[in-house]
Chains A and B, each alone.
Chain A
Amino acid sequence: MESLGSTRRSFAPWLDPNAEPYIRFENVTKSFGDFAAVDDLSLTIYEREFFALLGASGCGKTTLLRMLAGFEKPTSGRILLDGQDLLGVPAYRRPVNMMFQSYALFPHMTVEANIAFGLKQDRMPKAEIADRVAQMLKLVRLEQFAKRKPHQLSGGQRQRVALARSLAKRPKVLLLDEPLGALDKKLREATQFELMDLQQELGLTFVVVTHDQEEAMTMADRIAIMDRGKVMQVATPAQIYEAPASRFVADFVGAINMFEGEVLEAAAGRARIRDRSGVEFSLDNGGDASAGTTAWLAVRPEKVQVTRERPDGAVNAMEGEVWDIAYLGDMTVYNIRLNDGRLVKASVLNSLRRIEDALTWHDRAWISFAPDAGIVLIR
């Protein structure tokens, strides 16, 4: 495996063969009727890890969390927490707290009482509860709303109350189901970093569900990509992005160009693929491909160069026409239409304020990429 580090350089217990996972899903299946919402899924999560579940709507993320929290029983398989089988441990005895996707705030209690609810169940002394509640309110910036009822709050404020309530008990494991979905971009980014700080500071294990790739990339030590109840890949954000295990993962995370072709050669440190239009690509790494089979060459848009002329010495290059230009401020995305009609995306960083002789619609152009820029996928 390529050495693509985690966000926190020193934290990588999953690479340590002696490290004992903290949470362990073993062949867990959860069926509703004859539909498997979670399908024979195995997963390990380590103590103090910030773990993200990323996947399309309905792929079973919430169901997975609910099984860990104790609201659903697995149809088969087992879930272990710190070596203990959770089967038969009721939700209220699990050292796990959950932030609900629907918030589930108690409508008859004030914000303050909502946050204090879990602490009261533990019979914490009154003064300590007050301290903790104040601290939580400060964290989510709702100090002046302490005495309000949930229905007197906006959607984003409710979400922050739900977050504060689930954090108040400082559970060993915190499950967050779309914790920041209702926040605007600024507040969301600020809260992401606060969550990360808090998780590090308190040494908690976080499992976060999100739709938002950027959010998962920013916060998580490792990401699990889910599809229809199965885990497609578990890896660090950089690995997921730069070394996806399958076309599904490559396509799901970020934008990517994919060329289907026949593998001509796949030896150590060298691979050649002939794509359907007859163009041959040379790559440094053939992945798991073997000669004579069909494989897919995947290249991220930012690793594709766009030029007017064929660059000197370029190994992988194709000619086409500028079909579409999207100016995004920090970068510009070009859609280049190849001669056989396929579109290739290339994004170019706008490091200069003005470019002389910039490419424009319907110009002829060449796309090219380096031999180490692409990945060969066989699935």
Chain B
Amino acid sequence: MAGTWGRFNIVALILGFAFLYLPIILLVIYSFNESRLVTVWAGFSTRWYVSLFSNRGLMDAAWVTARVAFISATVATVLGTMAAVALTRYTRFRGRLLFSGMVFAPLVMPEVITGLSLLLLFVAIGFERGFMTVTLAHITFSMCFVAVVVQSRLLSFDRSLEEAAMDLGATPVKAFFQVTLPVIFPAVISGWMLAFTLSLDDLVIASFTSGPGATTLPMRIYSQVRLGVTPEINAISTILVGIVTIGVIVASLVNKRRRVRQWRDEQTAAQI
């Protein structure tokens, strides 16, 4: 096998992976460093994890981030799914192009601009900045990502399923909830997970729209790093990496199991 791969390919592969993962591996290793100095290895220890849990500032920020991510992902999923349905269903309403452009513009809009404009909006209407405003801001920018994911699923959705439901007496609303939604649900879930992670690691928009009482974890980490990297930061970052990794693994396992089951089912069908 290795012979056919060629030396160049192997080197390229190793370099690529090193480029991607070396920084993260370093971060994980140093989070178990005994020493207070981040760059000097002084033996294995979990003391920073222990002290992390007594660091109120970081823990509060983590809690804020978790709540913001959960609420904004959920609301963004509902709104994004609705937008996707509207865009795929009503292909001929007036101003559709404008509407779809407006839904997808935030995908390419620089975050700084999104953040700044949201800040201006909140100031203009006199919203006090805090938990509410960060959540709203995250809904705004993650909604379009959900819409993209759900829309691509809806494009391959067989509309005759919905017609069949209506033919059998279901109103359009019932047809949507009893047939369309269950069928596209995996896409809705991945939209939610995408929105959740986007909110989890957003720094720029949160910095613009958050207030004193609602510092998110990325904001907290960033402000602490400016005072110098502490091993505690490494520890919490490692935990974040762990959570994301587990999420990705679980998602792909679920996916794989479904594919395997479907494959088996199709085999049984073929044998009949």
Mask: chain A, 141-153; 1 = CB below 8 Å from B; 0 = not: 0000000010111
Knowing A100-B164, A104-B160, A108-B183 are in contact, say whether A151-B262 is a contact too (CB < 8 A).
yes
Tell yes or no: B128 within 8 A of A by CB.
no
B169 & A154 in contact (Cβ 8 Å cutoff):
no
Knowing A106-B161, A108-B183 are in contact, say whether A91-B167 is a contact too (CB < 8 A).
yes
Mask: chain A, 101-143; 1 = CB below 8 Å from B; 0 = not: 0101111100000000110011000000000000000000000
Mask: chain B, 259-272; 1 = CB below 8 Å from A; 0 = not: 00010011011101
Q: Which partner residue on chain B sits nearest A121 by CB separation?
A: B169
A156 to B58 Cα, complex, angstroms: 62
B168 & A165 in contact (Cβ 8 Å cutoff):
yes
- Pick the residue among B158, B166, B169, B265 that contacts A151 (CB under 8 A): B265
B165 & A106 in contact (Cβ 8 Å cutoff):
yes
A102 & B158 in contact (Cβ 8 Å cutoff):
yes
In the bound complex, residues from chain A placing their C-beta under 8 Å from that of B182 are 108
A163 nearest CB across to chain B (Å): 13
Tell me the dominant secondary structure on chain B's binding face: helix
Tell yes or no: A157 within 8 A of B by CB.
yes
B167 & A98 in contact (Cβ 8 Å cutoff):
yes
A100 to B262 Cα, complex, angstroms: 24
A355 to B158 Cα, complex, angstroms: 58
The A70-104 residues at the B interface (CB cut-off 8 A) are 70-71, 90-92, 96-98, 100, 102, 104
B169 & A153 in contact (Cβ 8 Å cutoff):
no
A5 to B210 Cα, complex, angstroms: 84
In the bound complex, residues from chain B placing their C-beta under 8 Å from that of A98 are 164, 167
The B220-270 residues at the A interface (CB cut-off 8 A) are 262, 265-266, 268-270
B170 & A121 in contact (Cβ 8 Å cutoff):
yes
A122 to B168 Cα, complex, angstroms: 9
Number of A-B residue pairs at CB separation under 8 A:
74
A152 to B179 Cα, complex, angstroms: 18
A118 & B161 in contact (Cβ 8 Å cutoff):
no
B contact residues, range:
20 to 34
B163 & A91 in contact (Cβ 8 Å cutoff):
yes
In the bound complex, residues from chain B placing their C-beta under 8 Å from that of A217 are none
Knowing A100-B160, A151-B269 are in contact, say whether A92-B169 is a contact too (CB < 8 A).
yes
Tell yes or no: B46 within 8 A of A by CB.
no
Q: Which partner residue on chain B sits nearest A149 by CB separation?
A: B265
- Pick the residue among A69, A92, A96, A154 that contacts B269 (CB under 8 A): A154
In the bound complex, residues from chain A placing their C-beta under 8 Å from that of B158 are 102, 104
Tell yes or no: A24 within 8 A of B by CB.
no
A contact residues, range:
20 to 34
Tell yes or no: B174 within 8 A of A by CB.
yes
Tell yes or no: B152 within 8 A of A by CB.
no
In the bound complex, residues from chain B placing their C-beta under 8 Å from that of A121 are 168-170, 174
- Pick the residue among B163, B170, B174 that contacts A71 (CB under 8 A): B163
B167 & A92 in contact (Cβ 8 Å cutoff):
yes
In the bound complex, residues from chain A placing their C-beta under 8 Å from that of B45 are none
Q: Which partner residue on chain A sits nearest B181 by CB separation?
A: A108
Tell yes or no: B171 within 8 A of A by CB.
yes
In the bound complex, residues from chain B placing their C-beta under 8 Å from that of A70 are 166-167
B164 & A122 in contact (Cβ 8 Å cutoff):
no
A355 to B264 Cα, complex, angstroms: 56
A108 to B181 Cα, complex, angstroms: 10
In the bound complex, residues from chain A placing their C-beta under 8 Å from that of B161 are 104, 106-107
In the bound complex, residues from chain A placing their C-beta under 8 Å from that of B172 are 92
In the bound complex, residues from chain A placing their C-beta under 8 Å from that of B174 are 121
Q: Which 5 A-B pairs have the closest CB atoms?
A: A118-B168, A121-B169, A104-B164, A104-B160, A152-B265
Q: Name 30 interchain pairs, CB-CB below 8 A, sorted by A.
A: A69-B167, A71-B167, A90-B166, A91-B163, A92-B168, A92-B175, A97-B167, A97-B168, A100-B164, A102-B158, A102-B160, A104-B160, A105-B164, A106-B161, A106-B164, A106-B165, A106-B183, A107-B161, A107-B183, A117-B165, A117-B168, A149-B265, A151-B265, A151-B266, A151-B269, A152-B268, A152-B269, A153-B272, A154-B272, A157-B272
- Given A92-B170, A117-B178, A153-B269: 20 more A-B contacts, CB < 8 Å: A70-B166, A70-B167, A71-B167, A90-B166, A92-B175, A96-B167, A98-B167, A100-B164, A106-B165, A106-B179, A108-B182, A108-B183, A117-B165, A121-B170, A149-B265, A151-B269, A152-B266, A153-B272, A165-B168, A169-B168
Q: What is the interface of chain B, defined by CB distance below 8 A to chain A?
A: 158, 160-161, 163-172, 174-175, 178-179, 182-183, 262, 265-266, 268-270, 272
